[in-house]
Copies of this chain bind each other. A is one copy, B any other.
């Protein structure tokens, strides 16, 4: 067993289908889906952020990029992609839009011409203050206990890790 990933659970139907549960669940029934509520909740979150972020002219994803840049000041596309589980196909146009709004600067690295360095601008830094109330307002809408929120986060991170890539 040369793998650090040990658990190997089986939920609705087992991995090797020798089945025979007393509680037979129809895994092809819409209401028995686990991931669709996840999918819908993720959409609901971006919908809930939208009116809060409209005021500072950011989408939810752009807001997440800005959050990384408030912290790191400068990152390249690969680093952003690793943090956000996104590739250049998604990030390049998004970063161009942030550049057009004046919140980031996109220039080539001088050490490695392939690398595109994304750095925050003065206007981008100011956004951090304008966005101060956003987390609290969203937490209010979401109305989850800290325990529920942490558990949700933990489970999502586990799933994300298990699904790999």
Interface residues of A in 22-65 (CB under 8 A from B): 27-30, 33-49, 60, 64
Tell me which residues across on chain B come within 8 A of A68, comparing CB atoms.
30
Q: A11-B144, A12-B135, A142-B11 are in contact. Are A153 and B34 (CB under 8 A)?
A: yes
Any B CB within 8 A of the CB of A4: no
Q: A9-B144, A12-B135 are in contact. Are A156 and B30 (CB under 8 A)?
A: no
Interface size on A, residues (CB 8 A): 70
B84 and A15 within 8 A (CB): no
Any B CB within 8 A of the CB of A83: yes
Beta-carbon nearest neighbor of A157 in chain B:
B37
Tell me which residues across on chain B come within 8 A of A7, comparing CB atoms.
143, 145
Query: What's the number of copies of this chain in the assembled complex?
Result: 2
Tell me which residues across on chain B come within 8 A of A14, comparing CB atoms.
136, 139
A165 to chain B, nearest CB (A): 7
A19 to chain B, nearest CB (A): 9
Among A14, A46, A149, the most chain B Cβ lie within 10 Å of the Cβ of: A149
Tell me which residues across on chain B come within 8 A of A146, comparing CB atoms.
9, 11-12
22 contacts between A and B (CB under 8 A): A10-B139, A11-B145, A11-B149, A13-B136, A14-B139, A15-B140, A27-B136, A28-B67, A28-B70, A30-B67, A33-B67, A34-B144, A40-B84, A40-B85, A42-B43, A44-B85, A47-B163, A141-B162, A141-B163, A143-B162, A144-B162, A151-B151
